[in-house]
Structure formats: structure tokens, C-alpha cells
């Protein structure tokens, strides 16, 4: 390791047909990461993803802050999906401290988490659209996303990075009249995203570009340990909201979309179907939610765990399972905090999928992984 | 090396015993919302998983905790490969969700924790098997060239590939047999201590 040149710069003896190409980190098509591809003519023969350009040391930072002051910075990896990033952490701390959360807070959390899932997926869809050269698919999601951002702003006061989940519940109760406004906006949102089918998902150009590219078989999806939309696009019916329901998901009727094809098209369609399902969940939660009651358990200042203990909690985020492993040593700060994020777990599929693919298909395969570089780096 | 681990195991016991004792008190207090007041004994299904591992490996392994949906197992580094193989073939677990390193400077060890789950076996969908093992810790680490080594599990669980690369750069634990031990997140010219070790202090704190 010491004398070797960095990957992508090392001089390799190669066939004169093979060319090494660095895609990124500045190239917008790669996000905040570098993909080193070796191409033979138009075909990719090898690919080496090189993340880490937006590594911020969230895990190290968490060891220096107490369980409450960890909240605002832990949601930074995915600011659009901040509620879902905090969710496993909050659940983990609640188990460590032995807190029981009020019923209404659980419903508020589910609503926030589903709203955030849609906000994230809309952002991802906008990027996916623009990198396939479909500018309508950039403008529409970016605009319709505002409906839900508006709702989150009403709940938490911030458009993104809400810091709304706290151990013991949520920071504030819903504003007055929220149920009505939420139902109206979500209904309109649902109507809008259904229109995307005509312009994007049934579009023959999209279908011809993404169908049968980057096919991930069911066995490989399991073997590589992928998660979320990538896994479900390959025919594995695994959604933590159903398989290991947290908070009140058990009481809601959740149907997670699954497709069998495993190609880029299926991977890009699953998140869209997810949004429709999220609208459904939000409406159910609004109906079943207790109309009043406390939303937060008051904690003692500087809460701490009881001696050496560790928890591993996971939730279904916009990009798949998101786990949080907290080791406590009985002090006010976590001894070690590890985020196991969906993006990082799905990254392993990239070299596998790009091999043998045309270079022109790289953006469609890469973005169909529902990959968020900042989250993967943490 | 063997005397070293033995000593640590005996040292660890009183500390590690606590989490094992905890679930007894916890289910009554915490998941009371789900099924009405759980009995005090350990959850049966999780117990059966840990019993299978104990039956196979006896005192080579230590059951750290049996909680709802989580089973914690601790093994010595010599046995981790065999135990992982049994977990895959005998217990139907098929992928690793997360690999975390935990630095214990007071024990002179670095723990590596694998969180193993299963997609293909629906009875295990809720379960996470927590497999922990410890590597020797060096005061002055030379990542990859000192005694901080563990056998890789990449030939058993393909999904650990990037996770183990991350543990290597962040803790300096070299995984022997891993085909690709390059850095992943850190800059290539990083010349400091592996940053998630406890002795790497962040500035201003």
C-alpha cells in the first residue's frame, strides 16, 4: 500500500485496446465520487468505484457528542431523507435508555418518514431524469417535491434537515389543521406522480435505454447483500416495514412493490411505485392517528445508557435498509456509532453490473442503483 | 497469542455479562406495546438459534446476548471463519448487513462486529445474528504490516467486501485472504493513524 500509486493513476501494463477512464469526481454524471472504468472500444471491461470524496467522519463525530447533540449532525448524510436517517438512531437510543414512546408520536414519525421518503425519491428521480437527458423529468419532480417540503416545513419549521425526531418522540406536535392540509397536498401529489407514467415510465425511449441493461439476478442480489429498491427490483420481497415492523407499521397496511426483471428499468420504477405506496401509508396513518395526546417523553438532561450495551436497529429508508449500531459504555456519549447505509451496501453491485455494459449506459445503470454518494461516505 | 486472548476473555466476562442479563428485565418494560407483557424468559426462537451454534461449537463460542430478534455471538479469531461458514450453511443466513469495528484500547484489542441477516429464509427475516471477534491491537499501528489481523469472511459472505475494506482503513485491521485491501473512503495519501481508533483525537475537542 505504501509504495503503490493511487488507484486510477498506477501505471498498468495493459492491452493497447484497453483505455482507463476516470469518471468523476467532478463529473456531474458520477455524483460526488469517482468511477474508474476500463473500456475496450465502447464496452466496459472493468469498473472500480472510488467513493470517499464527501467523507465527513459522522461516526467519529458521534463519539464526542451526547445522545441529544448527535441529532442534528447525524442527518447530514442525506438531507432530503433526514427523518429516515435519524430513525434507527432514535430507536436505538430509546432501547438503550428504555424509553416508551407515546402512540401519537409514533404516528407522527411514520408520517414524517414517509413524507421524507417521497421527498428523497423525487430528488433522486429528478437527477435520474436529467442524466438520461429527459429535462421534463428534472423539472416536474423538482417542482412537485415542493408540495411535501411545504408539509415538512409546517411540521418541523425547516425545509430540509428537520432534526425532528428525538429519543422519546418527536420535537413538536403537528400544527393545527395539519391533517386536512396534508391530505389535500398528498392527494394532489399522488395525482401528479401518476402522470409521470405517461411522460417517463411508459416512454419508449426510456424503456429502450434501460430495459435489459445492468441485469442483476435474484441470486446475485442476495449474494451481494444489496438492499431496498435494488433488491426488490430483482424479485426479493424484503421490506423492513413489513418484515421487521418498527413503531406503528404493524398496524398499517403496507404493500411493498416488487419486480422480477432486475434491470435498470425495474430499479428505476420501484422507487416511483414506492412513492405511491407512501401516499397510501400517509393517508392511513392520518386516519388512525390518535387525535390528541403527548408526542414526546421528557428525558433527563444528558441521558446515558446503563453500562456496556449495544443495539442494532434498522429501518427502511428511501435507499433501503438503514442500520444503526450503537455501543454504549454507560457514559453520556456513545462509545461507538456505526451507520450501515443502503447506498454503501448497493455500491458493491456497481462493478458487477457495469462489466460488459456499454459506456453510454453507465449513467442509467449507476443512477438506477438509487445511490447517494454523501450517504455512502458518511 | 492464545494466552493473550484467554486472559482477555476472563477479564471481559464481568463486563460482558451485563448485556446478557439485561433482556430479562427489558422485555417487560419495553415492547409492552406489541404483545401484552412478555414473559421474563429469553425469546424462544432466538434461543434456538444460539443453542444450535452452541451445540456445534461448544465452548469455542460465547453467547453474548439473546434479545428480541438479535442473537449475539462472540468467537476467537481462530474460529471466526468456521463459525461464519456454519452460520451460512447450517443456519441459512446469506448476507452481511454491516461490519463495524470497535476499538478497546483498555483491552488492547479491536473488535469487529458482523451483523448477519437472511433474505432467502423468511423465518429469519427479522433476525440479525451479531458475530463479534477481536483482533490484537498495536500501540503504533502499521496497517497491514502488524499483528492486527483477522481472517476475511469475504469467501463466505461476498457482501462484506467493501465493509471490510472500510474497517481496514478506519481501524487498521488487515483481513488476510481479502482480495482487495486498498483504501476505500480515506484519501490515498493518508499517513496518520487509522481515524476511528480511540487514540486518534479530533482537533478542538
Contact A112, A170 (CB under 8 A): yes
Between positions 211 and 250 of A, the ones with CB within 8 A of B are 222-225, 227, 231, 236, 238, 243-244, 250
Contact A100, B33 (CB under 8 A): yes
| Size of the A and B interface in Cβ pairs below 8 Å | 119
Grid coordinates representing A324 are 444503526
From the list A99, A305, A167, A169, the residue with the least C-alpha distance to B30 is: A99
Min Cα distance A202 → chain B (Å) is 31
A136-147 pLDDT per residue, tens: 888 999 899 998
Residue-level pLDDT at A188: 92
Candidates B143, B159, B184; nearest CB to A225: B159
pLDDT at A67 over 50: yes
From the list B188, B186, B179, B181, the residue with the least C-alpha distance to B200 is: B186
Q: pTM for this one? A: 0.83
Residue-level pLDDT at B40: 57
pLDDT at A184 over 70: yes
Using CA of residue A132, residue A149, residue A191, residue A289, what is the dihedral sign? positive
For residue A207, the tally of other CB atoms under 10 A from its CB is 12
Contact A252, A284 (CB under 8 A): yes
Residue-level pLDDT at B28: 43
Q: Which CATH class is domain B2-138?
A: alpha beta
Contact A333, A64 (CB under 8 A): yes
Least confident of A9-18, A42-51, A348-357: A9-18
| Rounded-to-integer distance, Cα B68 and Cα B72, Å | 11
Residue-level pLDDT at A132: 85
Chain centroid offset of residue B26 CA: 22
**In chain B, domain spans:** 2-138
Q: Do A222 and B100 touch (CB under 8 A)?
A: no
A191-250 pLDDT per residue, tens: 998 998 888 888 888 888 888 888 888 888 888 889 888 999 998 888 888 888 888 888
Q: Report percent pLDDT > 70 for chain A.
A: 95
Q: Do B119 and A348 touch (CB under 8 A)?
A: no
Q: What is the DSSP letter of A296?
A: B
pLDDT at A306 over 70: yes
A102-131 pLDDT per residue, tens: 888 889 999 999 999 999 999 999 988 888
CB-count burial class (<10 Å; 0-12, 13-18, 19+) for A77 = buried
Most distant CA pair in chain A: distance in Å? Answer: 71
Residue-level pLDDT at A187: 92
Please give the full DSSP string across A104-170, using - where no structure is assigned: HHHHHHHHHHHHHHHHHHHHHHHHHHHHTT-THHHHHHHHHHHHHHHHHHHHHS-SS----EETTEE
Chain centroid offset of residue A376 CA: 10
Facing residues of B65 across strands?
B72
pLDDT bracket for residue A9 (50, 70, 90):
low
Q: Do A225 and B158 touch (CB under 8 A)?
A: yes
Mutation site, B17, B119, B128, interface A, largest A CB count within 10 A: B119
Facing residues of B62 across strands?
B74
Between positions 78 and 137 of A, the ones with CB within 8 A of B are 95, 98, 100, 103
Which ipTM value was assigned to this complex? 0.84
The residue count of chain B comes to: 205
Cβ-Cβ contacts under 8 Å for A291 (sequence gap 6 or more)? none
Contact B187, A52 (CB under 8 A): yes
Contact A170, A295 (CB under 8 A): yes
A274-295 pLDDT per residue, tens: 999 999 999 999 888 888 888 8
Residue B29 with chain A: CB contacts under 8 Å: 98, 100
Beta strands in chain B (DSSP E): 61-67, 70-75, 95-104, 109-117, 128-136, 149-151, 174-176
A55 touches chain B (CB under 8 A): yes
Min Cα distance A245 → chain B (Å) is 9
For residue A198, the tally of other CB atoms under 10 A from its CB is 9
**Residue segments in chain B with a per-residue pLDDT below the cut of 70:** 1-41, 204-205
Mean pLDDT of the region A14-19: 72
For residue A215, the tally of other CB atoms under 10 A from its CB is 16
Residue A95 with chain B: CB contacts under 8 Å: 26, 30
pLDDT bracket for residue A29 (50, 70, 90):
low
Q: How confident is the prediction for chain A on average, in pLDDT?
A: 86
Chain centroid offset of residue A136 CA: 23
pLDDT at A337 over 70: yes
Strand order in the sheet with A18-23: A18-23, A34-40, A43-50
B98 touches chain A (CB under 8 A): yes
B32 touches chain A (CB under 8 A): yes
Q: Do B95 and A222 touch (CB under 8 A)?
A: yes
Beta strands in B137-171 (DSSP E): 149-151
pLDDT at A43 over 50: yes
Residue-level pLDDT at A28: 66
In B, minimum Cα distance to A339 occurs at: B98
Q: What are phi and psi of A215, to 5 degrees?
A: -85, 125
Residue-level pLDDT at B57: 79
Between positions 99 and 158 of B, the ones with CB within 8 A of A are 100, 102-103, 113, 115, 119-120, 125-126, 128, 130, 143-144, 157-158
Orientation of helix A103-131 relative to helix A82-97, angle to 10°? 150
Residue B183 with chain A: CB contacts under 8 Å: 1, 52
Mean pLDDT of the region A337-352: 88
From the list B63, B35, B203, B198, the residue with the least C-alpha distance to B129 is: B63
Instruction: For chain A, list the domains and their CATH numbers.
Output: 58-342 (1.10.645.10)
Min Cα distance A55 → chain B (Å) is 7
Q: Do A321 and B18 touch (CB under 8 A)?
A: no
Residue A374 with chain B: CB contacts under 8 Å: none
From the list A296, A249, A304, the residue with the least C-alpha distance to A277 is: A249
Residue-level pLDDT at B10: 41
Helix or strand or coil: residue A371?
coil
Residue A1 with chain B: CB contacts under 8 Å: 143-144, 181-183
Q: Report percent pLDDT > 90 for chain A.
A: 11
Residue-level pLDDT at B41: 67
The residue count of chain A comes to: 378
pLDDT at A89 over 70: yes
Higher pLDDT, A267 or A308: A267
Helix or strand or coil: residue B116?
strand
Grid coordinates representing A250 are 404493524
Grid coordinates representing B86 are 456454519
Q: What are phi and psi of A183, to 5 degrees?
A: -60, -40
| Rounded-to-integer distance, Cα A361 and Cα A23, Å | 13
Amino acid at each position: 500500500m505504501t509504495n503503490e500509486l493511487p488507484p486510477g493513476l498506477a501505471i498498468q501494463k495493459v492491452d493497447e485496446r484497453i483505455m482507463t477512464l476516470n469518471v468523476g469526481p467532478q463529473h456531474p454524471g458520477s455524483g460526488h465520487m469517482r468511477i474508474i472504468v476500463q473500456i475496450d472500444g465502447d464496452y466496459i471491461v472493468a469498473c472500480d468505484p472510488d467513493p470517499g470524496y464527501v467523507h465527513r467522519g459522522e461516526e467519529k463525530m458521534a463519539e464526542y457528542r451526547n445522545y441529544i447533540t448527535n441529532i442534528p449532525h447525524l442527518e447530514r448524510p442525506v438531507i432530503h431523507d433526514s427523518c429516515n436517517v435519524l430513525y434507527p438512531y432514535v430507536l436505538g437510543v430509546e432501547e438503550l435508555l428504555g424509553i416508551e414512546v407515546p402512540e401519537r408520536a409514533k404516528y407522527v414519525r411514520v408520517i414524517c418518514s414517509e413524507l421524507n421518503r417521497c421527498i428523497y425519491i423525487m430528488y433522486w428521480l429528478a437527477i435520474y431524469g436529467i442524466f438520461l437527458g429527459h429535462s421534463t423529468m428534472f423539472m416536474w419532480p423538482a417542482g412537485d417535491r415542493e408540495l411535501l417540503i411545504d408539509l415538512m416545513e409546517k411540521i418541523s419549521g425547516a425545509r430540509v434537515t428537520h432534526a425532528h425526531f428525538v429519543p422519546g418522540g418527536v420535537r413538536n406536535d403537528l400544527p393545527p389543521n395539519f391533517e386536512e392540509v396534508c391530505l389535500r397536498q398528498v392527494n394532489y401529489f399522488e395525482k401528479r406522480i401518476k402522470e409521470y407514467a405517461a411522460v417517463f415510465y411508459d416512454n419508449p425511449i426510456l424503456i429502450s435505454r434501460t430495459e435489459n441493461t445492468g441485469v442483476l439476478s435474484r441470486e446475485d442480489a442476495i449474494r451481494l447483500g444489496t438492499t431496498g429498491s435494488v433488491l426488490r427490483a430483482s424479485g426479493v420481497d424484503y421490506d423492513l416495514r413489513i418484515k421487521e415492523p418498527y413503531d406503528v407499521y404493524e398496524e398499517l397496511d403496507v404493500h411493498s412493490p416488487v419486480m422480477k426483471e432486475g434491470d435498470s428499468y425495474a430499479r428505476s420504477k420501484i422507487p416511483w411505485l414506492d412513492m405511491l405506496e407512501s401516499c397510501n401509508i400517509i393517508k392511513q396513518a392520518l386516519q388512525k392517528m390518535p387525535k390528541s395526546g403527548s408526542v414526546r417523553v421528557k428525558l433527563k438532561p444528558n441521558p446515558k445508557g446503563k453500562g456496556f450495551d449495544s443495539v442494532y436497529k434498522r429501518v427502511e429508508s428511501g435507499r433501503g435498509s438503514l442500520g444503526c449500531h450503537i455501543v454504549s459504555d454507560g457514559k453520556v456519549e456513545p462509545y461507538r456509532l456505526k451507520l450501515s447505509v443502503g447506498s454503501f451496501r448497493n455500491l458493491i453491485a456497481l462493478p458487477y453490473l457495469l462489466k460488459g455494459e456499454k459506456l453510454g449506459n453507465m449513467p442509467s445503470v449507476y443512477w438506477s442503483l438509487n445511490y447517494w454518494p454523501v450517504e455512502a461516505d458518511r | 497469542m492464545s494466552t493473550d486472548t484467554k486472559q482477555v476473555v476472563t477479564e471481559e466476562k464481568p463486563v460482558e455479562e451485563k448485556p446478557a442479563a439485561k433482556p430479562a428485565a427489558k422485555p417487560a418494560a419495553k415492547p409492552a406495546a406489541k404483545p401484552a407483557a412478555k414473559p421474563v424468559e429469553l425469546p424462544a426462537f432466538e434461543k434456538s438459534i444460539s443453542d444450535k451454534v452452541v451445540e456445534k461449537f461448544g465452548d469455542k463460542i460465547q453467547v453474548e446476548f439473546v434479545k428480541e430478534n438479535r442473537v449475539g455471538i462472540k468467537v476467537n479469531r481462530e474460529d471466526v471463519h468456521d463459525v461464519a461458514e456454519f452460520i451460512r450453511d447450517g443456519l441459512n443466513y446469506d448476507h452481511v448487513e454491516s461490519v463495524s469495528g470497535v476499538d478497546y484500547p483498555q483491552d488492547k484489542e479491536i473488535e469487529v462486529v458482523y451483523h448477519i441477516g437472511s433474505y432467502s429464509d423468511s423465518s429469519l427475516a427479522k433476525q440479525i445474528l451479531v458475530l463479534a471477534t477481536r483482533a490484537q491491537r498495536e500501540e503504533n499501528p502499521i496497517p497491514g504490516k502488524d499483528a492486527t489481523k483477522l481472517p476475511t469472511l469475504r469467501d463466505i459472505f461476498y457482501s462484506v467486501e467493501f465493509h471490510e475494506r472500510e474497517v481496514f482503513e478506519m481501524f487498521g485491521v488487515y483481513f488476510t485472504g481479502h482480495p482487495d485491501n486498498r483504501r476505500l473512503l480515506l484519501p490515498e495519501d493518508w499517513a496518520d493513524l487509522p481515524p476511528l481508533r480511540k487514540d486518534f483525537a479530533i482537533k478542538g475537542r
